[in-house]
Chains A and B, each alone.
Chain A
Amino acid sequence: MSAPKKRNFHIEAFKHKVVVDPKYAEKTWKVLEHAINEIYNHNASGLSFEELYRNAYNMVLHKFGDKLYSGLVATLTMHLKEISKSIEAAQGGLFLEELDRKWTDHNKALRMIRDILMYMDRTYIPNTHKTPVHELGLNLWRDHIIHSSEIQTRLLTMLLELVQRERTGEVINRGLMRNVIKMLMDLGLSVYQEEFEKPFIEVSSNFYSLESQQFIECCDCGDYLKKAERRLNEEMERVSHYLIDRTESKITNVVENEMISNHMQRLIHMENSGLVSMLVDDKYEDLGRMYSLFHRVPDGLSSIRDVMTSHLRETGKQLVMDPERLKDPVDFVQRLLDKKDKYDNIISLALNNDKTFQNALNSSFEHFINLNSRSPEFISLFVDDKLRKGLKGVSEEDVEVILDKVMMLFRYLQEKDVFEKYYKQHLAKRLLSGKSISEDVERSMIVKLKTECGYQFTSKLEGMFTDMKTSQDTVQEFYANQAADTAESPVLAIQVLTTGSWPTQPSTPCNLPTEILEVCEKFRTYYLGKHTGRRLTWQTNMGTADLKATFGKGQKHELNVSTYQMCILMLFNNADRLTYREIEQATEIPASDLKRCLQSLACVKGKNVLRKEPMSKDIGEEDAFFFNDKFTSKFYKVKIGTVAAQKETEPENQETRQKVEEDRKPQIEAAIVRIMKSRRVLDHNNLVAEVTKQLQSRFMPNPVLIKKRIESLIEREFLERDKADRKLYRYLA
């Protein structure tokens, strides 16, 4: 007993006396059979477990195992046949209940029988490879009850009917349902599958196919999705309440297939309620639902994505190509930002921040922003607008947020070099006219550009800031040194700009008034005295001036004007009436600029310090101008803007384009040489691809352009074509 492997040795017999009574087996069996009957009749309390166990034990021990086993089978079969009859007799709804009750009884009886026949289970059955008692009982139940022709179909129809009734909203006895399903499961997975799962899936599939057809005819997309989601949840709930876990994936598959997959395209494209209108109306909830439902079926998300992308591209294209929008660049960019925000919100709130959708969004924006070749200019104008005035009363953090958003748009640009050109121009204007609201913000914008595109991209922009700083110092020094000489003359604020860094237009300087010319000359001598070998030219088209003027009734105003305007106004110190031609002669201001200046001096209401004859909106070459004695203004300081269009005019635009194209040539050439230097030999297509890759961060080089540059390099003997293969290029050191 204490030996650990005590079960290994075989014990022959417990009883010493040899049973001689030939009726012994028969008699013992009768006792056991009687007991089994009593058990089935719920009458076991009078029975002694020990006695029954001992009898069964002895029977097995005395080699009557066969008799015991076959007797058991026969008795069980007999009882099950009775049970089957009583179940068959049950009417209507009682059928399942009867089945369930009998099943419980049978289970209990079976456990008792197994217990008293334990010794047979332990020794006889393993030796003869028969089915253990409990399993035997289940198998017999399966064969006689479940597979009984009467019961089988009735059971199935009852179960399916109950499910159907629950689907139509009735309350059913879920406990009973669960018990019956569990019975099928206890009888083995295959029984459950054959008797219930398969037909259940089939019926469900028909049901949902019909229902989805109805729904789709009468509901809009949002409602349909709601219904589909509810059905899906119902089925999952059903599974958790009374079905087997492994059925869940099958039944959800059915719902997904019938309700979603089959109607996917129709749902997405449904008019007035499909995906597009959800996007337009920001229906986060519906979109979220669509996402989570379509997520479940193959190709679901990609369908949403495709439609979203094409919708985005379409509306985006409309937006950037709309001639109305082109009139106001700030509004144009603001709309782009709004659109981006809108879709960012949709993706984060409804689409689970799905990376693939973010990518789709990005590629769509990239696509349509670059459809309009003026996008870089507009984005720069937008920044200009924000950094000029738009940020008054806005905290620096908010500015950062706006700038970050702009950077997002910037990232989409293919022609970053065009943006750089414009940004440089706009920045120059801001710096020179002192209209930039905060240097910190300006610098932070530069840092952003730097992290995005590298040092090269911003070096010139940074140079502009340096120039501003050194100019300030130089001017201070100048005045400190020349204090005595310059006390009487106008105060100059001079910015010395490095030629390469600033977007200067070659302009013929106008004739400055003598008072100013004098100081200018002094500065020039001072500056050149400090820095030998430099050239100083005056950019009179870029400066501003503050004038103090006294008007007719003696009221004084300070006029803030451009350098050109200052030159014109100074003429009126000596004359009351000047014709256009006289002004032109005296100042030598280029005609187009002159007209603009005069227009802003004479034609803007409230700022008309000059009077024009004849009174009209446009400046004619024959017009005459008078000093306007009657000028009044509420303010002491009057700022006179130039009627300069902020946005570039068409020819200007062309010009900038051309400049950009010019600038690209050396960049492309440099890239070609860089690549060929390391590769020595390369064929045409690969070279073009490499060049494109290298320059992508700045702009999208046109293959034709690259080809031209290659040809030019061949002419200049940097490269040569291979003698044998004309498509191969060789690098000539």
Chain B
Amino acid sequence: MKKEDTVKLISAEGFEFVIDKNAAMVSQTIRNMLTSPGSFSETQHGVVRFPEISTPILEKICQYFYWSLQFASGKETEFYIEPELTLELMMAANYLHT
């Protein structure tokens, strides 16, 4: 996988997730970060830190990104969310504009 096609997401605890750019761009916020005309540090390095998102939530988010890509192509499946993650996940979704 070429570096240009991937992006590194870092959780509050410092855990790194490397995922496809087009998966990450399911989030409108991340899309803006990566495509904004000015050269912000995220745009330049392909690394985004989320000091306010914990590792399990970010992991779930990444899973959702990939699921969403599949779902967008028309495959009907259910995306399972553990009840205890629900609240935090929703707040993160609002933040990431997903």
- Residue ranges of A at the interface with B (Cβ–Cβ < 8 Å): 1-2, 6, 11, 13-15, 39, 44-50, 53-54, 57, 108-109, 111-112, 115-116, 118-119, 122
Q: Measuring CB to CB, which residues of chain B are less than 8 angstroms from any residue of chain A? A: 28-29, 32-33, 36-44, 48-52, 64, 78-79, 81, 89-95, 97-98
User: Considering only CB atoms, which chain A residue lies closest to B32 in the complex?
Assistant: A115
Give Cα A689–Cα B10 distance, bound, in whole angstroms. Answer: 99
Contact of A112 among B36, B48, B97 (CB under 8 A): B36
Which residues does chain A contribute within 8 Å of B49, judged by CB atoms? 48, 50
Is there contact, CB below 8 Å, between A118 and B29?
yes
Q: How far is the CA of A37 from the CA of B42 in the complex (A)?
A: 19
Q: Are A45 and B78 also in contact (CB < 8 A) when A11-B94, A53-B33 are?
A: no
CA distance A45 to B45 in the complex (A): 10
Contact (Cβ within 8 A) A14 B33: no
Closest chain B CB from A583 CB (angstroms): 115
Partner of B33, one of A44, A50, A108: A50
Q: Is there contact, CB below 8 Å, between A108 and B81?
A: no
A322 to B9 alpha-carbon distance, docked (Å):
101
Among B39, B79, B91, B94, the most chain A Cβ lie within 10 Å of the Cβ of B94
**Complex CA distance for A119 and B49, rounded to whole angstroms:** 18
Expressed in whole angstroms, the Cα–Cα distance for A116 and B92 within the complex equals 17
In the complex, chain B residues whose CB is within 8 Å of the CB of A111: 36-38
Q: Point out which of B28, B37, B89 has the most chain A C-beta atoms below 10 A from its C-beta.
A: B37
Given contacts A44-B39, A47-B40, A49-B32, contact A6 B97 (CB under 8 A): no
Chain B residues, CB < 8 A from A44: 38-40
Partner among B33, B36, B37, B98 whose Cβ is within 8 Å of the Cβ of A1: B98
CB-contact partner of A45 in B39, B51, B89, B98, under 8 A: B39
Residue of A nearest to B50 (CB): A50
Residue of A nearest to B39 (CB): A45
Nearest-neighbor residue (CB-CB) of A15 within chain B:
B52
| Closest Cβ–Cβ distance, residue B56 to chain A (whole Å) | 15
Q: Which residue of A lies closest to B41 (CB)?
A: A48
Q: Name the prevailing secondary structure of the A interface residues.
A: helix
* Chain B residues, Cβ within 8 Å of A119: 97
How many angstroms from the CA of A108 to the CA of B37 in the assembled complex?
Answer: 6
Contact A118 B95 (CB under 8 A): no
Which residues of chain B are within 8 angstroms of A11 by Cβ–Cβ distance? Answer: 90-91, 94
Asked if B42 and A49 make an inter-chain contact with CB atoms under 8 angstroms apart, the answer reads: yes
| Alpha-carbon distance between A690 and B93 when the two chains are bound, in angstroms | 88
Measured CB to CB, the closest approach of chain B to A461, in angstroms, equals: 81
Contact of A1 with B39 in the complex, beta carbons under 8 Å: no
Contact A50 B95, beta carbon cutoff 8 Å = no
The 4 A-B pairs of least Cβ separation, nearest first, read A112-B38, A49-B40, A44-B38, A14-B91
B95–A14 touching, CB < 8 Å: yes
Q: Are A2 and B81 in contact (CB under 8 A)?
A: yes
What chain A residues lie within 8 Å of B51 (beta carbons)? 54
Instruction: Kindly provide the distance from the CB of A645 to the nearest chain B CB, expressed in whole angstroms.
Output: 96
> In the bound complex, how far is the Cα of B94 from the Cα of A122, in angstroms?
11
What is the bound-complex CA distance between A2 and B52, given in angstroms?
22
Question: In the complex, what residue of chain A is closest to B9 when comparing beta carbons?
Answer: A50
Interface centre among B29, B79, B89 (most CB of A within 10 A): B29
Name the distance in Å between B98's Cβ and chain A's nearest Cβ. Answer: 6
Find B44's partner among A6, A39, A45, A115 (CB 8 Å cutoff): A45
**Candidate in A49, A111, A112 with the most chain B CB atoms within 10 angstroms:** A49
- Contact between B38 and A109, CB atoms less than 8 A apart: yes
* Contact status of A1 and B64, CB under 8 A, knowing A45-B40, A111-B36: yes
Q: Which residues of A contact B40 (CB under 8 A)?
A: 44-45, 47-49, 112
Indicate if the CB atoms of A47 and B41 lie closer than 8 Å: yes
A622 to B37, CA, bound (A): 121
Nearest-neighbor residue (CB-CB) of A44 within chain B: B38
CA distance A111 to B33 in the complex (A): 12
Query: A127 to chain B: closest CB distance in Å?
Result: 15
Residues of chain B within 8 A of A1, CB atoms compared? 64, 79, 81, 89-90, 93, 98
Name which of B37, B40, B48 has the most chain A CB atoms within 10 A of its CB. Answer: B40
Give me 19 A-to-B residue pairs in the complex whose CB atoms sit less than 8 angstroms apart, sorted by A's number: A1-B81, A1-B98, A6-B93, A11-B94, A13-B91, A14-B92, A15-B52, A44-B38, A44-B39, A45-B44, A46-B41, A47-B41, A49-B41, A57-B95, A115-B32, A116-B36, A118-B29, A118-B32, A118-B97
Closest chain-B Cβ to A548's Cβ sits at a distance in Å of 107
Complex-state Cα separation, A11 to B89, whole angstroms: 11
Report chain B residues within 8 Å CB of A13: 91
- A residues in contact with B98, CB < 8 Å: 1
Residues of A within 8 A of B43 (CB): 49
Report the minimal beta-carbon distance from B53 to chain A, rounded to whole angstroms. 9
CB-CB under 8 A from B50, the residues of chain A are 50
**Bound CA span A39–B40, Å:** 10
CA distance A351 to B93 in the complex (A): 69
Do A45 and B91 touch (CB < 8 A)?
A: no
A40 shortest CB reach to chain B, Å: 10
The reply to whether B90 and A49 contact each other, CB–CB distance below 8 Å, is no
Q: Which residue of A lies closest to B48 (CB)?
A: A50
Instruction: Give the Cβ gap from A355 to chain B, nearest Cβ, in Å.
Output: 56
CB distance from A469 to the nearest CB of B (A): 85
Question: Given that A14-B94, A47-B41, A49-B41 are contacting pairs, would A115 and B36 also be in contact in the complex, using a CB cutoff of 8 Å?
Answer: yes
| Contact A45–B52 (Cβ < 8 Å) | no
Q: Is the CB of A2 within 8 A of B79?
A: yes
From the candidates A46, A116, A118, name the one contacting B28 in the complex (CB within 8 A). Answer: A118
Chain B residues whose C-beta falls within 8 Å of the C-beta of A14 in the assembled complex: 52, 91-92, 94-95
Question: Which residues of chain B are near A15, meaning CB under 8 Å?
Answer: 52
Known: A45-B41, A47-B41, A50-B48. 9 other contacts (CB 8 A): A1-B64, A1-B93, A14-B91, A44-B39, A45-B40, A48-B42, A48-B49, A49-B32, A115-B36
With A6-B93, A14-B94, A15-B52 as given contacts, are A53 and B29 in contact (CB-CB < 8 Å)? yes
Return chain A residues, CB-CB under 8 Å to B48. Answer: 49-50
B97 proximity list for chain A (CB < 8 A): 118-119, 122
Chain A residues with Cβ below 8 Å from B39 are: 44-45
Q: Report the Cα distance A39→B32, complex, angstroms.
A: 16
Distance in angstroms from B43 CB to nearest chain A CB is 7
From A11, A45, A115, residue with most partner B Cβ within 10 Å: A115
Rounded to whole angstroms, the CA-CA distance of A122 and B29 in the bound complex is 11
Q: Point out the residues of chain B lying under 8 angstroms from A49, CB to CB.
A: 32-33, 36, 40-43, 48
Tell me, rounded to whole Å, the shortest Cβ–Cβ distance linking A597 to chain B. 106
Residues in A with CB closer than 8 Å to B42 are 48-50
Q: Please, which residues of chain A bring their CB within 8 A of the CB of B36?
A: 49, 111-112, 115-116
State how many angstroms separate the Cβ of B79 from the closest Cβ of chain A. Answer: 5
Shortest CB-to-CB span from B31 to chain A, Å, is: 9
Which of B39, B48, B81 is the most central at the interface, judged by chain A CB atoms within 10 Å of its CB? B39
What A residues does B41 contact at CB under 8 A? 45-49
Residue of B nearest to A9 (CB): B90
Q: Which residues in A have their C-beta under 8 angstroms from that of B92?
A: 14
Q: Which residue of B lies closest to A39 (CB)?
A: B38
Measured between alpha carbons, how far is A611 from B78 in the docked complex, in Å?
Answer: 128
